Amino acid sequence: MSAAIYSSPVDKLLTLGKPESVLPEKWPNYLELGLGPEHIPELIRMAIDPEFRGPEAEVESELSSRMTNGCLKNCHQSSG
């Protein structure tokens, strides 16, 4: 994974590892990492990043998508 292509604080997501639960409501509050509505475009880019796609990245891809979606949900809620 190349954290260099993502700015801070979005790049912090790449160091979190697997969520302890698959249930998004039990995930951490990603806003505490400093993420906000201004990071939504970069979070979307992370969610569709080909580096997390494909058979060799199958598990990471699913986890990355879930984490990114959780972040997007937090950011969207904070903007409204």
Count of domains for the chain: 1
For residue 7, tell me if it sits in a domain: no
For residue 7, the model assigns a pLDDT of 92
For residue 14, tell me if it sits in a domain: no
Percent of the chain surpassing pLDDT 70: 66
Q: What share of the chain is helix, strand, coil (3-state, %, to 5)?
A: 70, 0, 30
- Letter for the amino acid at 61? S
For residue 26, tell me if it sits in a domain: yes
Residue scoring higher pLDDT (65 or 59): 65
Most confident of 19-23, 39-43, 50-54, 60-64: 39-43
Domain that includes residue 64, residue range = 22-79
Rounded to 5°, angle at Cα 76 from 5 and 17: 45
For residue 3, tell me if it sits in a domain: no
* Residue 32 reports pLDDT greater than 60: yes
Residue 8: pLDDT band with limits 50, 70, 90: very high
